[in-house]
Amino acid sequence: MFELIRTNDPVLISFVESLLRDSDIGFFVADQNMSIMEGSLGILPRRVMIDKDDAERARQLLKDAGIGDEARPPHGDG
């Protein structure tokens, strides 16, 4: 799995989810339920995870949407 973004911003998470869903890129949001543990303060960031095979296409999708700077840098581990 590849971590596409990590953020505390629920609006950004929702926007990225919409972009990925509309492009048929599978994803899941990790740490989404941690808000229960932290008392809904928004301190712990959520991570949008995608398959490594979709990483380049998803990064380009974010770039085209004007939020490419939000994407995590590509990992050197292949």
Sign of the C-alpha dihedral computed for residues 53, 26, 20 and 37 taken in this order = negative
Average pLDDT estimate for 70-74: 85
- Element (DSSP H or E) covering residue 50: strand 46-50
3-state secondary structure at position 4 = strand
Residue 55 lies in a domain: yes
Q: What residues make up the domain containing 40?
A: 2-70
Question: Does a structural domain hold residue 65?
Answer: yes
Q: Is the pLDDT of residue 50 over 90?
A: yes
Residue type for 78, please? G
Residue 7 maps to which CATH number? 3.30.70.790
Q: Flag whether 75 is in a domain.
A: no
Query: pLDDT tens, 11-45?
Result: 999 999 999 999 999 999 998 776 566 565 667 88
Please state, for a pLDDT cut of 90, what percent of the chain lies above it: 65
Per-residue confidence at 78, pLDDT binned at 50, 70, 90?
very low
Going by C-alpha positions, the residue among 56, 53, 59 that lies closest to residue 16 is: 59
- Structural domains of the chain, count: 1
Q: Looking at the domain assignment, is residue 35 inside a domain?
A: yes
pTM for this entry: 0.82
User: Minimal CA–CA distance to 52: which of 72, 32, 31?
Assistant: 72
